[in-house]
A and B are shown apart, each in its own frame.
Chain A
Amino acid sequence: MSLGIDIQGLTVRYPDVTAIDDLTLRLAGGKIYGLLGRNGSGKTTLLSLIAAYRRVREGRVIVDGQEPFENERLTQQICLIREAGDVVIDGDSVGNILRRARLLRPTWDDDAAERLLELFELPRRRGVSKLSRGQRSALGITVGLASRAPLTMFDESYLGMDAPSRYAFYDALLEDYMEHPRTIILSTHLIEEVARLFEEVVIIDRGRLVAHEDTDTLRMRGAAVVGPAVAVDDFTAGMTVLGEQRLGGTKSVTVYGDIGEDARRVATDWGLELSPVALQDLFVHLTKGDHA
Chain B
Amino acid sequence: MSATTYQRTGVAVRDLTLGFRLSLIWFVVIIAIAFAVIGAIVVSVRDPSTTESVWENSAYATRYFPLSQGIMLTAVYLPVAVASGLTRRTFGYAATIGVIGISGIMAVFEAAGYLVEYWAFDLTGDVPTYATPHLFEHGYQFWISVPEVWIVVAGNVAAGWLIGSAYYRWGWLGPTLALPLLIIPALVVEALMSVGWAGAAMDAMGFERPPTWLAVTSCLAVLAITLSGVHRFVRTIDIRPQKA
Contact = CB atoms under 8 A, between A and B. Distances in A.
Interface of A: 44, 48, 52-55, 70-73, 75-83, 85-89, 92, 96, 100-101, 103-105, 147, 149
Contacts of A44: 241
Contacts, number: 80
B214 to A, nearest CB: 37
B18 A72 contact: no
Contacts of A80: 83
B80 A87 contact: yes
B86 A104 contact: yes
Contacts of A81: 83
A48 B240 CA distance: 10
27 contacts: A48-B238, A48-B239, A52-B82, A54-B239, A70-B87, A70-B89, A72-B2, A72-B89, A75-B87, A76-B4, A78-B85, A80-B83, A86-B82, A86-B83, A86-B239, A87-B80, A88-B80, A89-B76, A100-B15, A100-B80, A103-B11, A103-B14, A103-B15, A104-B11, A104-B86, A147-B85, A149-B85
B218 interface: no
Nearest to A72: B87
Interface string B147-179: 000000000000000000000000000000000
Nearest to A144: B83
Contacts of B236: 55
B209 interface: no
Contacts of A75: 82, 85-87
B239 A53 contact: yes
Given A70-B89, A77-B85, A80-B83, 6 more contacts: A86-B82, A86-B83, A87-B80, A103-B15, A104-B11, A104-B12
A268 to B, nearest CB: 50
A230 to B, nearest CB: 49
Interface string B70-88: 0000001101101111111
A87 B242 contact: no
A105 B88 CA distance: 16
A100 B84 contact: yes
A283 to B, nearest CB: 22
A72 B90 contact: yes
Given A53-B238, A85-B242, A86-B83, A70 B88 contact: yes
B134 interface: no
A222 B228 CA distance: 56
B138 interface: no
B19 interface: yes
Given A53-B238, A104-B11, A86 B5 contact: no
B235 interface: yes
A71 B87 contact: yes
B235 A70 contact: yes
B19 A89 contact: yes
Contact of B84 (A55, A77, A96, A101): A101
B157 to A, nearest CB: 19
Contacts of B14: 103
Nearest to B239: A53
B83 A72 contact: no
A89 B84 CA distance: 12
Contacts of A149: 85
B25 to A, nearest CB: 15
A103 B76 CA distance: 19
B2 to A, nearest CB: 7
Contacts of B18: 96
Which 4 residue pairs are nearest across A and B when measured between Cβ atoms? A86-B83, A53-B239, A76-B85, A54-B238
